[in-house]
Amino acid sequence: MTAKRQARFKSLRDSSKERIEHAALELFAKKGYGSTSISQIAKAAGISKGLMYNYYKSKEALLEAIVQKSFEWGKAMFTAGVAQTEKPEDLLRYVVEASVAAVLEKPVFWKLMTSLAFQEEVLKAMAPEIKKLRKHNVAFGNEIFTALGYPNPVEQALLFAASIDGMFFHYILSDGSYPLEGVKNLLIDKFCHPYLNDRPNTP
């Protein structure tokens, strides 16, 4: 197979996988993961059931691919932030702003991903990966808030993550009236600075 044909084959394969994952994500969000079948996903994606299994060996593998994509985005964001910033407070600011930009760029994807996060079957199926991601995020936050001088860096990391999650949850479920930019700026003001700057002046 020539390089040109290989590139075309890869493009077609990637396009098919993207259609499958998007169709699956919509069905998982609408019908529930447990109530969605491979046949329904194949029909929604406009491909045969046999071709579906050529890309994903099971519904569980398809779910893992979808969730893993969001995890990989998060890891790539952290890596880019580390490369582009020097101060820990600037890295936190980068994380907040990059996260907001991602949600604004693909609101439908993140809305559907949010709906998956509340499905017990999904949480159970992805428990090992979710646990690994949380461990990574807490370690990252602990390192950053320690560098900023906070006496309780782990708790600050958890509060920071919960604040970002809450901001996106309310924005995604709103009718467009949620003041995302204003809340983002408040979040930056609260967290993205050294601890000493947040303490009242003492004589």
- Domain parsing of the chain, residue ranges: 1-57, 65-198
**Percentage of the chain exceeding pLDDT 90:** 45
Among the four given CATH numbers 2.60.220, 1.10.357, 3.90.380, 1.10.10, the one describing domain 65-198: 1.10.357
**Average pLDDT in the 171-177 region?**
85
> In angstroms, rounded to a whole number, what is the distance separating the alpha carbons of residues 99 and 97?
5
**Average pLDDT in the 130-139 region?**
87
pLDDT in tens, 98-116: 999 988 888 888 888 888 8
State the pTM of this model. 0.77
pLDDT in tens, 35-83: 999 999 999 999 999 988 999 999 999 988 888 888 888 778 878 888 8
> In angstroms, rounded to a whole number, what is the distance separating the alpha carbons of residues 35 and 180?
34
**Average pLDDT in the 126-137 region?**
86
> In angstroms, rounded to a whole number, what is the distance separating the alpha carbons of residues 161 and 184?
13
> In angstroms, rounded to a whole number, what is the distance separating the alpha carbons of residues 104 and 164?
14
On whether the CB atoms of residues 56 and 62 are closer than 8 A, the answer is yes
Phi, psi of 85 (to 5 degrees): -130, 160
* Residue 196, both tokens: 């000493």
**Average pLDDT in the 81-96 region?**
91
Nearest to 119 by CA among 178, 77, 66, 72: 66
Burial class (CB in 10 A: 0-12, 13-18, 19+), 67: buried
Read off the DSSP letter of residue 131: H
Give the pLDDT confidence score for residue 2 in this predicted structure: 80
- Per the rule left: phi > 0, alpha: psi between -120 and 50, beta: everything else, 94 is alpha
**Percentage of the chain exceeding pLDDT 70:** 96
> In angstroms, rounded to a whole number, what is the distance separating the alpha carbons of residues 154 and 160?
10
Superfamily of domain 1-57: Homeodomain-like (1.10.10.60)
Give the pLDDT confidence score for residue 200 in this predicted structure: 42
Give the pLDDT confidence score for residue 141 in this predicted structure: 92
Give the pLDDT confidence score for residue 1 in this predicted structure: 62
pLDDT in tens, 18-47: 999 999 989 988 888 989 999 999 999 999
